[in-house]
Structure 1
Amino acid sequence: MDKKLVKVLDTTLRDGSQTASISFTLNDKIRIALYLDKIGIDFIEGGWPSSNPKDYEFFRKIKEYSLRSKVAAFGSTRRKDTKAEKDPTLNSILESDVDTAVIFGKSWILHVTDVLRVSKEDNLNLITESIEYLKQHGLYVIFDAEHFYQGFLDSADYAMQVIKAAEEAKADVIALADTNGGTTPDKIYDITSYVVKQTNVEIGLHMHNDIGCGVANTLMGVLAGARHVQGTINGIGERTGNADLIQIIPTLVLKFGFKVLKDINSLKELKPLSRLVYELSGVSPNPFQPYVGDNAFAHKAGVHADAVIKNHRAYEHVDPESVGNSRKILISEVAGSANLVNYLERLGINIDKKDPRLKSILQKIKDLENHGYSFDIAPASAALIALKDLGLYEKVFDVEYWKVINENGLALALVKVNSYLEASEGVGPVNAIDLAIRKALQNIFPDISKIKLIDYRVVLPGEIKNTESVVRVTIEFTDGEKQWKTIGVSRSVIEASIEALVSGFDYYIQISKKLKPLVV
């Protein structure tokens, strides 16, 4: 066996679906499985076919696709009062018509005697007979030793009896599970090393994240000799989640030199895969997630930005593109000239770092941030400030008047833009004013119809200078090719929304007229 090869089992569709408030549809599960197969995941744990109709149907449906990944069905060892050949869980695995089975069994005496309520010897028989039954039917069997690390710390002798029973029953992989997620990395390394030395079977790892060490524990287990890892995309799972494969996989490849997935180019699919699972989970992406988060390679402080522009390695541990991400140089109150110069260059504007106008632009940005603005999350608004100070801004429309009526469930807006008077009814006041402004602008710029609002957020940043409470509104736009964000700040949410809306439309027109397209 190649000692640098680490196989990956993804349990997003099984353990991940046990996350509180997350429920995948059958179509969701298929889409995720196809993407996992695309990047070369070795095993896709599709679900527990005996537990619910959706998982049972998944195994039938997935056969319509030609996957290179091995699809695995999950279940438990046989019931204590049922023979293996009569056990509904084991037989549901066979009926799912997969060639890989994952079954879990007890390895902690507490669970054997207090939860399962059988003798220690009977528990060993449950494990042995279940594995042997599946092996007799030609399946590749992965045995998950549930609560192994807790069991080992309680009784190393019995925990090892469980491992030996699974090995003698010819399990292909024995995965050591930190089921309650409470074991520390040092203990994971020591215990895993011991097990690897005492066995002649492939050892795997299944870590939970209850003390925030799911990823660290997995990595320590691999360094201790395990060559099979289990986890979920984005670390979703029971309680605080499972070990995050999005962090584990690139670390194994880029930091330790292990062979994982099809090849190193598969790492570029990690961000799109992460986003797909977030989307189908109904969970907002974590911008601070290592490797794939929007802020994973974002540089805000002037000193950092200046260094990264000169040499990316100064503050980046890997190339962002290697994991499907990209570098971001942010504009904010802590930004320096390097941030602004880099940003303007991406707009197609070349300016010397020593140009005195930069200082003026940065000062305006800092003054506005002191009054509640946040330009690192809405860089298009900062771009408008820069264009004005650099003499590149051309005022092409003027919102001369606006009024919003929102009462008795009716939202109406009236606007006058460049002498065009328009009214609209909307689903709420912000939608009404958006529609009215669009109507007016389309008289002058028909392309405005391409623009869609894809995100709208209201934040209450608190009192500014202890004199006024303000509302911060950010809006994200797209024209189908690029995206941009603008910001508005006011004591009134309607006024802040109008500022963000008008700035968003203005930015699009300015960029379309003068500059090359930009994704911000």
Structure 2
Amino acid sequence: MNYKKYKKFETVKLKDRTWPDHEIEKAPIWCSVDLRDGNQALITPMDIDEKVEMFQLLVQLGFKEIEVGFPSSSQIEYDFLRLLIEKNLIPDDVTVQVLTQAREHLIKRTFESLKGLKKAIVHIYNSTSILQRDVVFHKSKEEIKKIAVDGTQLVKELSKDFDGEVILEYSPESFTGTEVDYAMEVCEAVLDTWEASPERKVIINLPSTVEMDTPNVYADQIEWMCRHFKDRNRVIVSVHPHNDRGCGVAATELALLAGADRVEGTLFGNGERTGNVDIVTLALNMFTHGIDPKLELGQMNQIKDVYEKCTKMDVPPRQPYAGELVFTAFSGSHQDAINKGMYAYHQRGEGIWEVPYLPIDPADLNRQYEPIVRINSQSGKGGVAYVMDTVFGYHLPKALQGDFAKAIQNISEIEGEVSPERIYDTFKKEYIDLEYPYKFIKQRLIDISDESDEYERRAEVTIEDHGEVKTLIGYGNGPIDAVKNAFNSTDDFLYTDLMDYSEHALTAGSNSKAAAYVQLRPQGEELCEYGVGVHLNITTATIKAMISAMNRIYKNIKKEG
């Protein structure tokens, strides 16, 4: 790889930059270019129906400026704009933008397409970069500037006979490859020709047509331009970043710190080459800092569906905020932290969102919590516990989490990713549905506090023991104590100690089932086993959990024997 064939573009030296000390405090003016920049980047461009559907999505999301295409470049783009106008599909609070090169016949055709509009942004451009001046156009600086000025003058003249309002936008295309003092010279010539004023502002769009340097350099260029406009108040400074170096979002954020007022970009960064800046990511980055992004992105799956349908492009699974896997953790340590963070968040009564590894609450995007944790061989007890809790409502005790996670890890090492349904089925098989050698049949608890000075409860538990029906009787100072003593009242069972007990309702309401968790240890043994019972009656659930634990003890002792 011959790296010496490349050279760095020499750009502005701004030693007294101020943008590093700034913060983004509000959303910029957003302009979607999905229907132009995004559309021209597609292998199969959108047809008119798809364009209408995309336009309506952009309106729904809250875009107030939408570049609808290059109507002088093709009939379908011209017809699409006419359809929007004639079918009255453009809301009063939305301004459409049209792009055209600063060439006479294209500008005139553009104005033909605008008839009937009350307001439009006419966006003219010509390339000003050193490379394009020398290699593409073979023109001097003065000749290039004249193209911009002549184009502006024509738009100005045609605007006089136009029934609606025309806002001028000018782009020195390939701004990042243009000397900043020359870019300023051209832009000021455009502003003067238009007779721009604070009441008649011009959008000066400074595109990173090709991302050529690190984001801080783009920020320096933007700050230099903002400082050197003759009258900053007559300019709306807009940026149109591309993503050639993979830094489009960062470059845009730094450009906003440097003074930009407006951002042109696309949903999910669709655009030529490596794409435009991703407005979804930009807006949600602001959202996670407590800033109103002025876009409605709360139905992320719907947005993705329309985008993918219209563009025939897929949103990558790791795309920030929108990708299928961006809220998903496979690593055990990540899963454990998320599990604990979600628990703490709900315990605090929600409020400020602070959950490890999740910079945004998936619910704010109408994304479900279930896929946050997915289980494979890299997962740990925290992840398994999270799935059992959030998907199925089982709050597993800590010791049971570790025990059950081992069983799931054994499965995942053979089968790969383990679905929540597979996890639940395994849990039932291992802890709930064990009915051999002991099976619960019925129970009866009697209050004997008036009859006995020693005990408060009498438990009568009917079970099946290796196929034989037996009724065991025990006494205790509470239901659990009485049931435990009933099992320990006969030599037919291992004498066990109750090591841990917990229970909770699985769902809300009067018909909710209860889940009980019991850990037993045979006396004289180190082996401890959990059992789980589920029933409408909490005492029955506890008895079933005890029997489950006894069955697990029996199975493991038999295995060891």
Match of 2:360 among 299, 307, 318: 318
Q: Which residue of 2 aligns with 1:220?
A: 254
What's the counterpart of residue 263 of structure 2?
229
Q: Name the CA distance, whole Å, in 1 between partners of 2:358 and 2:61.
A: 24
Identify the residue that residue 296 of structure 1 maps to in structure 2.
Answer: 326
Q: What is the Cα-based RMSD across aligned positions, in Å?
A: 2.6
| Contact 1:292–1:325 (CA under 8 A) maintained in structure 2 | no
Aligned partners of 1:105 and 1:297: how far apart in 2?
Answer: 42
Shift of 1:22: 4.3
**Aligned-pair CA distance for 1:109:** 3.2
CA distance in 2, matches of 1:337, 1:158: 62
Other-structure match for 1:148: 175
CA distance in 1, matches of 2:405, 2:35: 48
CA distance in 2, matches of 1:288, 1:208: 19
Equivalent AA in structure 1 for residue 411 of structure 2: L
Give the SS at the match of 1:267: coil
Quote the Cα distance in structure 1 between the aligned partners of 2:375 and 2:327. 14
Matched, 1:8 2:67: no
Determine if contact 1:291/1:325 at 8 Å carries over to the other structure: no
* CA contact 2:327–2:358 (8 Å) conserved in 1: yes
Matched residue, 2:277: 243
Distance in 2 (CA, whole Å) between partners of 1:214 and 1:61 is 33
Instruction: Give 2:294's match in structure 1, choosing from 233, 256, 261.
Output: 261
Q: Is the 8 A contact 1:76 1:90 kept in 2?
A: no
Question: How far apart, CA to CA, are the structure 1 residues paired with 2:269 and 2:220?
Answer: 24
Q: Distance in 2 between matches of 1:309 and 1:210?
A: 38
User: d(CA) in 2 for partners of 1:371 and 1:144?
Assistant: 58
Q: Which residue of 1 aligns with 2:17?
A: none
What letter corresponds to residue 30 of structure 1 in structure 2?
Answer: V
- State the match for 1:133 in structure 2: 154
| 1:5 CA drift (Å) | 4.8
- The letter of the residue matching 2:249 is V
Cα displacement (A) at 1:126? 1.8
1:278 to 1:392, Cα distance in 2 relative to 1, 3 A: farther
Amino acid at match of 1:249: A
Of residues 387, 403, 409 in structure 2, which corresponds to 1:343?
387
Q: Deviations over 1:203-250 (max 9, x none)?
A: 111111111011111111111000100111111111111111111112
Residues 280, 5 of structure 1: alpha-carbon distance in 2 compared, 3 angstrom cutoff = closer
Q: Name the amino acid aligned to 2:60.
A: K
Q: Distance in 1 between matches of 2:189 and 2:434?
A: 75
Deviation of residue 143 (structure 1)?
1.4
**Alignment partners' CA distance in 1, 2:274 and 2:139:** 30
Task: Name 2:47's counterpart in structure 1.
Answer: 25
The structure-2 alpha-carbon separation of the partners of 1:181 and 1:92, relative to structure 1 and needing over 3 Å to count, comes to same
Q: Which has the larger radius of gyration?
A: 2
Whole-angstrom distance in 2 between the partners of 1:23 and 1:347: 41
TM-score by length of 2: 0.62
CA, structure 1 residues 120+253, in 2 after alignment: closer, same or farther (shift >3 Å)? same
Instruction: Work out the CA distance in 2 between the residues paired with 1:219 and 1:185.
Output: 9
In the TM superposition, residue 334 of structure 1 has moved relative to its aligned partner by: 2.5
Question: Mean alpha-carbon deviation: is it higher for 238-247 or for 282-291?
Answer: 282-291
Alignment CA distance shift 1:350-1:71 (3 Å): same
Residue 204 (structure 2) pairs with residue 163 (structure 1):
no
What is the alpha-carbon distance in structure 1 between the residues aligned to residue 44 and residue 417 of structure 2?
32
Which residue pairs with 2:145 in the alignment? 124
Alpha-carbon separation, structure 2, partners of 1:106 and 1:62:
30
Are 2:377 and 2:416, in contact at CA under 8 Å, matched by a contact in 1?
no
Q: Is the 8 A contact 1:109 1:158 kept in 2?
A: no
User: Against the structure 1 CA distance between its residues 61 and 385, is the aligned structure 2 distance closer, same or farther, given a 3 Å change threshold?
Assistant: farther
CA contact (8 A) 2:30 2:264 kept: yes
- Structure 2: gaps spanning 5 or more residues: 1-23, 160-164, 343-353, 436-561
Distance in 2 (CA, whole Å) between partners of 1:184 and 1:355 is 50
Q: Tell me, what secondary structure is at the counterpart of 1:44?
A: strand
Pairing of 1:40-79 with structure 2 (within 5 A): 40-63=62-85, 64=87, 65-67=89-91, 68-78=93-103
Q: 2:307 aligns with which of 247, 261, 277?
A: 277
Do 1:8 and 1:260's aligned partners in 2 also have CA atoms closer than 8 Å? no
Runs of 4+ that moved beyond 6 A: none
Q: 1:379 and 1:279 mapped to 2: Cα distance?
A: 29
Task: Report the Cα offset of residue 128 of structure 1.
Answer: 1.8
The superposition leaves residues 440-488 of structure 1 with CA deviations (integer Å, 9 ceiling, x where unpaired) of xxxxxxxxxxxxxxxxxxxxxxxxxxxxxxxxxxxxxxxxxxxxxxxxx
Which residue is 2:480 aligned to?
A: none
Q: Distance in 2 between the 1:197 and 1:144 partners? A: 18
SS in 2 for 1:311: helix
Q: Which amino acid aligns with 1:34?
A: Q
* Structure-2 separation of matches of 1:5 and 1:347: 36
The one-character-per-residue Cα deviations of 1:358-394 (angstroms, maximum 9, x if unpaired) are 445433332233235222xx44333333333233599
Match of 1:100 in 2: 121
Any conservation in 2 of the 1:233–1:274 contact (CA below 8 Å)? no
C-alpha deviations, 1:152-195, integer Å up to 9, x for none? Answer: 2xxx3322212212222336211111111222111111111010
Q: Hey, what's the Cα distance between the residues in 1 that align with 2:397 and 2:41?
A: 49
Instruction: For residue 271 of structure 1, report the CA deviation from its aligned partner.
Output: 4.7
> Are 2:398 and 1:354 equivalent residues in the alignment?
yes
| Contact preservation (8 Å) 1:100, 1:140 | yes
> How far does residue 303 in structure 1 lie from its aligned partner after superposition?
2.5
SS at match of 1:381: helix
* 1:3 CA displacement: 8.2
The answer for the alignment partner of 2:466 in structure 1 is: none
2:407 maps to what in 1?
Answer: 364
Q: How does 1:427-442 map to 2 (within 5 A)?
A: none
Percentage of matched positions with identical amino acids: 24
What is the one-letter code of the residue matched to 1:76? Q
Unaligned runs of 5+ in 1: 79-83, 395-520
**TM-aligned CA distance change 1:337 to 1:5, over 3 Å:** closer
Cα distance in 1 for residues equivalent to 2:287 and 2:110? 36
The offset of 1:21, in angstroms, is 2.4
One-letter amino acid of the counterpart of residue 31, structure 2: L
Greater displacement, 360-369 / 220-229: 360-369
Task: Report the CA distance between 1:251 and its aligned residue.
Answer: 1.9
Match of 2:429 in 1: 388
- The number of residue pairs the alignment matches comes to 376
Give distance in 2, aligned partners of 1:17 and 1:353. Answer: 53
Which letter maps to 1:331? I
Q: Identify the residue that residue 308 of structure 1 maps to in structure 2.
A: 338
Q: CA separation in 2, counterparts of 1:228 and 1:326?
A: 33
The CA deviation at 1:270 is 4.6
8 Å CA contact 2:173–2:209 kept in 1: the answer is yes
